[in-house]
A and B are shown apart, each in its own frame.
Chain A
Amino acid sequence: MEKSRPLWDNPLQFVFACISYAVGLGNVWRFPYLCQTYGGGGFLIPYIIMLIVEGMPLLYLELAVGQHMRQGSIGAWKIISPYLSGVGIASVVVSFFLSMYYNVINAWAFWYLFNSFQDPLPWANCPLNSNHTGYDEECAKTSSTQYFWYRKTLNISPSIDENGSIQWEQAVCLILAWLLVYLCILRGTESTGKVVYITASLPYVVLIIYLIRGLTLHGSVNGLIYMFTPKGSVSHSLALQLEQLANPKTWINAATQIFFSLGLGFGSLIAFASYNKPNNNCERHAIIVSLINSSTSIFASIVTFSIYGFKATFNYENCISKVILLLTNAFDLEEGAITADNLNSMKDYLTSVYPNEYAELLPQIKNCSLEAELDTAVQGTGLAFILYSEAIKNMEVPQLYSVLYFIMLLTLGIGSMLGNITAIITPLTDSKFLSTHLPKEAISGIVCFINCIIGLVFTTKAGNYWFNIFNDYAATLSLLLIVLVETIAVCYIYGLRRFEDDLHLMLGHKPNWYWKIMWAFASPVLIISLFIFYLTDYIHTGTLQYQAWDATQGQQVTKDYPSYALAVIGLLVAASTMCIPLGALITFVMKRLKRNVSTLE
């Protein structure tokens, strides 16, 4: 009796799993930044074009491959061609690297979540220095939220060379994060299928709550206006926005964002689709998932920018009141003589009437600018942990919003982790060798355990620098290569006609001419151009640099990577990309050996 492959209970679980995997932290912290940098509203045009040309076809391709072959990535590509087993292995290696560092983000989210249950929030105020006469020195130079992130959470060292010890608080949060992931994938699709209901829907609930809260905050409109104006323009005229379209970087970033946001090439989509019933309509699901992923990005950026606007306006108004107070005190004016409206005219008046005193005061008077506050736009962990926590601490009932927000980050992160881990475990459980000797729970447990132990590196004092190395280099180039090989393999090695027939068998109709053109020409061309662009970019920039936190100055400084860090980067890229030719080579050699053996007999 052959053991049947576990299946999703219903197609909805599959769609939710894909959504929860694709909709991740990148939608929240990368897209808003890109949107603002490359022209706001205008950025949507290349984004949507790339979605249609690149995102949907490649997603459909991966889902179809997984659903038809009913195997994880290694098995699926072996079926397509025995020389392509390297592609599957490369996917597993990249997924392995990703899961190593990605769960650290969940650990940080847990840390912030657990710290949200107190009044006042720990990142709301600077701690006092040792003799209680003032605030802690480092905190006074920077803001309390940055201090909490760099000192209390990461306890970051000044450079990547100084390794420091493991921060036990982060380590236990990481262990908890891995235990939670293990709990979710323990029983395979049985448990994962239930969990994705929550991880797919909860972020939307929180985003809607934040949308309502964000739009009703004072100053949120400033943020929204800022989002739709390209950087450096004074007015949001259409011409200026469209000017950004001529910039090739806009298109490249749109393509990259679509590509990585959907999570192509990791093998997770193939793994998820392999648990489908053979007649599942993966074409419709591909379109649904990619559309939901993109609209979530746009939705999240509206929320993010209204929160931005609130924070910037709050800081700007604080700055203005400080200046007003300073002037009022220095010149003994009546309370209310200087207001925000007449500040500039009062400044001119004071300069003329008391030139000497005003000149003395000048270094202390800051030039408050709303633009400057909004320009502190950031992406990545800086946005998620520093900026949002700063905005939250100024809201009413900050504990509630803080808890909601970090639960949302957690569900987004866990959802993506489920996909990554499934990509690693599915090929392992598919292999006859491992599944006969070990039960599924043990395999998942061992994978989680190994990842957890290696992940402890990221909880050391220099851990964040290694995290950034992995974040920037572990997946980028390799994925482009993997997906390129995938597309070429399906279209030209396996044969587009054969693939068409398989789809006809599964779905009941042949794919449109549109899909075929995208698979055969448009997507490979696009990926090759992205690949060339990134390679030339890497070569041009020469030495790679990173941002280190300088505690004495209270800000980030740029430093060069030491040689061993560069070696690690090279290893990361090589480890996954080399699998593809190596796999082909080994298969070739083994076939040769077998032929020799059989001819000898």
Chain B
Amino acid sequence: MLEILLLAFSLATIAHAELCSPGAQNAIKVRYTWDASEEYLFKAMVAFAMRRYSNKATTQISNVLLCCMTERVSFWFVVTDSSKNVTTVPGSEVEAAIRMNRNRINSAFLLTDHTLEFLKISTTLSPPVESTVPVWLVVFSVVLCLVIAGIFLLIVSGIRQRRKNNNDSAEYGDLEDQCGTQVTTENGIPCDILDLKSGHINGVYTADDERFTPL
């Protein structure tokens, strides 16, 4: 990954021959691994940015001067204005131009804000994507509905089962009242019902008159 550092603008006055020098007025330092072609591309991108920003198609590649390349691949650059001889375009203008087209410049070198640094042009942090409804609320609502549905189902089935049990035992109770004392019961369930419910009557005990020992 190529690291590029940015250099700060410097506002010192410069002589004509030293339009581009470290710390020169309106000069910006850049770092990158680099050969002549990359240098050419960089000059072209800066010229492009200046043209875009000021909307006048006068900035040429020759207007961009690079200097003081170090092995770290950092350098200073200035943009001259050919209409006004020998002066450099104000640093603030260059800064604004680059800021506007930062993305394009980064993409040209396949780098990012971190790896292609223009010192003094701080990166603007992109705000996080905010959806209208927070994601967690969506998932929460889904889970909540499932759980409430589950509780509801279990409670309803429980009530229904209990009602069925109550009805069955109420039936047995009614029969007992109707038939009077003659009805024989086995564990609280009338024997007739027991018979119907596939109960087995033990043959040993079917002698009617001997069923109950007289008191």
Stretch touching chain B among A330-338, A375-383, A592-600: A330-338
Q: How far is the CB of A189 from chain B (nearest CB, A)?
A: 14
Instruction: Say whether, besides A334-B71, A335-B72, A182 and B151 are in contact (CB < 8 Å).
Output: yes
B5 to chain A: which residues have CB within 8 Å?
329
Whether B73 contacts A335 by the Cβ 8 Å rule is yes
Answer yes or no: B124 CB below 8 A from chain A CBs. yes
Interface residue A315 (Cβ < 8 Å from any Cβ of B): no
Q: How far is the CA of A325 from the CA of B71 in the complex (A)?
A: 14
B188 adjacent to A187 (CB under 8 Å)? no
Pair A117/B139 contact, Cβ less than 8 Å: yes
Between-chain CB contacts (< 8 Å), 20 pairs:
A110-B143, A114-B135, A114-B137, A117-B136, A125-B128, A127-B128, A128-B127, A128-B128, A173-B140, A176-B147, A179-B147, A179-B148, A179-B151, A183-B151, A186-B151, A186-B154, A187-B154, A325-B3, A332-B72, A335-B73
The minimal Cβ–Cβ distance linking A409 to chain B, given in whole angstroms, is 15
Cα–Cα, bound, A84→B208 (Å):
53
Per-residue interface assignment for chain A, residues 111 to 123, with 1 indicating a CB less than 8 Å from any chain B CB and 0 otherwise: 1011101100000
Interface flags, A148-161, vs B, CB<8A=1, else 0: 00000000000000
Docked complex Cα distance between A176 and B74 (Å): 57
Counting CB contacts under 8 A, is B33 at the interface? yes
Q: Residues on B close to A: CB < 8 A?
A: 2-3, 5, 31, 33, 70-74, 122, 124-125, 127-128, 135-137, 139-140, 143-144, 147-148, 150-151, 154-155, 158, 162, 187-188
Interface assignment of A284: CB less than 8 Å from any CB of chain B:
no
Confirm or deny: A246 has a beta carbon within 8 angstroms of a beta carbon on chain B. no
Cα A173 to Cα B139 in complex, Å, equals 11
Whether B70 pairs with A134 at a CB distance below 8 angstroms is: no
CB-CB nearest in chain A for B73: A335
Tell me if B154 and A183 are in contact (CB < 8 A): yes
Whole-angstrom distance between the Cβ of B85 and the nearest chain A Cβ: 33
Does the CB pair B125–A128 fall under 8 Å?
yes
Cβ contacts under 8 Å, A133 to chain B: 122, 125
Q: How far is the CB of B148 from chain A (nearest CB, A)?
A: 7
* CB neighbors of B among A96-155 (8 A): 110-111, 113-115, 117-118, 125, 127-128, 132-135
List the 6 closest A-B pairs by CB distance, nearest first. A114-B136, A332-B72, A332-B70, A334-B71, A114-B139, A118-B135
Which chain B positions have C-beta within 8 A of A117? 135-136, 139
Q: Which of A1, A176, A180, A441 contacts B140 (CB 8 A)?
A: A176
Set of chain A residues within 8 Å of B31, measured between Cβ atoms: 329, 332
Chain A 177-216 near chain B by CB (<8 Å), digits 1 or 0 = 0011011001100010000000000000000000000000
Report the Cα distance A118→B139, complex, angstroms. 11
* Docked pose: A441 CA to B158 CA in angstroms: 9
Give the CA-CA distance A135 to B128 in the complex, in Å. Answer: 12
Q: In the bound complex, do residue B188 and residue A1 qualify as a contact, i.e. CB atoms below 8 Å apart?
A: yes
Per the bound structure, the CA–CA distance linking A334 and B139 in Å amounts to: 50
CA distance A337 to B127 in the complex (A): 36
Judge whether A179 and B144 touch: CB under 8 Å. yes
Contacts of A179 in B (CB 8 A): 144, 147-148, 151
Q: How far is the CA of A134 from the CA of B124 in the complex (A)?
A: 8
Interface centre among B5, B70, B72, B188 (most CB of A within 10 A): B72
Q: Which chain B positions have C-beta within 8 A of A191?
A: 154
Q: Is A328 an interface residue, CB under 8 A from the partner?
A: yes
Q: Are A132 and B136 in contact (CB under 8 A)?
A: no
Which B residues lie within 8 Å of A332 (CB)? 31, 70-72, 74
| Inter-chain contacts of B151 with A (CB < 8 A) | 179, 182-183, 186
On chain B, the residues within 8 Å of A110 by CB distance are 140, 143
Are B125 and A132 in touch, CB under 8 angstroms? yes
Q: Are B33 and A335 in contact (CB under 8 A)?
A: yes
Query: For A176, what are the chain B residues with a Cβ–Cβ distance below 8 Å?
Result: 140, 143-144, 147
Q: Does A172 contact B (CB under 8 A)?
A: yes
| Further 17 A-B residue pairs, CB within 8 A, beyond A179-B151, A329-B74 | A114-B140, A117-B135, A127-B128, A128-B125, A128-B127, A128-B128, A172-B140, A183-B147, A183-B151, A187-B158, A191-B154, A325-B3, A329-B31, A332-B74, A335-B3, A439-B162, A441-B155
Which of B2, B148, B154 has most chain A Cβ within 10 Å?
B154
Query: A183-B154, A335-B2 in contact; A134/B71 too (CB < 8 A)?
Result: no
CB proximity of B32 to chain A, nearest CB, Å:
9
Give A100 to B127 CA distance when docked, in angstroms: 39
**B148 partner residues in chain A, CB cutoff 8 A:** 179
Minimum CB–CB distance for A405 against chain B, Å: 16
Looking at the assembled complex, report how far the CB atom of B16 sits from the nearest CB atom of chain A, in whole angstroms.
Answer: 27
